[in-house]
Amino acid sequence: MSAKKLIAANWKMNGSRALVEAVVQQLTNLNSAVDVLICPPATLLSAFPVSRHYKLGAQNVSEHDEGAYTGELSGKLIIEAGATYVLVGHSERRQYYAESDVMVCAKIQQAVSAGLTPVLCIGETLIERQQENTEQVIAKQLAAVYASHPELLVKSVIAYEPVWAIGTGESATPEQAQATHAFIRGQLAQYDAIAAAKVRILYGGSVNAANCQALFAQADIDGALVGGASLKPSEFMQICQSAKD
């Protein structure tokens, strides 16, 4: 478990330059006891001034290094835009854009090769949870990347997002989230025990100012991947403050 928590904001297809300014203003009051990552739409990356208070990430990366792939962004292009992280395998990418485990693995490889830190998103659907298949689903998603490329783990961040909790207002209880995070860390230890003990495992899924503190108190929860609440500057700041307490 990392001693320093990471709070990541996924703006999805939302945001504006006005929101950038509001978030930047809030975060100037945050000390270095917590790491903050903002993942806005790629068109807004350049709107963020360079700051010690946060790092920037993209929401997706191509599995290709370069070429005739209209609309795609390579790792190198993302770095030139000012980002150092990238979300990979988010459930919305898996669901709406048919990203397979094979593609997710290729994207992780491309991200690391370019010098980006990938945030691998994993999680089960409501049906999979109801069928008590959470651990099988997560184990498969992790194995797809790290079973054949264990060297990538030390350069990764993991984000557990139960699909049934994303944008629904529902959240796993702190105990449920902790149990799954502990399982994830145990699975990762098969591939690199040293990296597994240190890798940051974030929780995502309707994280807000009201529930974050209880989540952050759990032993294996090293931060959060925040969706809707990250679009509210004052609430996002509260979440960040809770992570350093």
Annotated binding-site ranges for substrate: 10-12, 167, 206, 227-228
Distance CA 117, CA 113 (A): 10
Q: Which segments are annotated as binding site?
A: 10-12, 167, 206, 227-228
Residues designated as active site: 90, 161
Please give the backbone phi and psi of residue 119, each rounded to the nearest 5 degrees, phi first: -105, 100
Distance CA 136, CA 194 (A): 23
Which residues lie closer than 8 Å to 166 by C-beta, 6 or more apart? 91, 92, 123, 204, 205, 206, 227
Tokens found for residue 167: 């944008």
Distance CA 193, CA 47 (A): 39
Cα 145 off chain centre by: 16
Cα 170 off chain centre by: 18
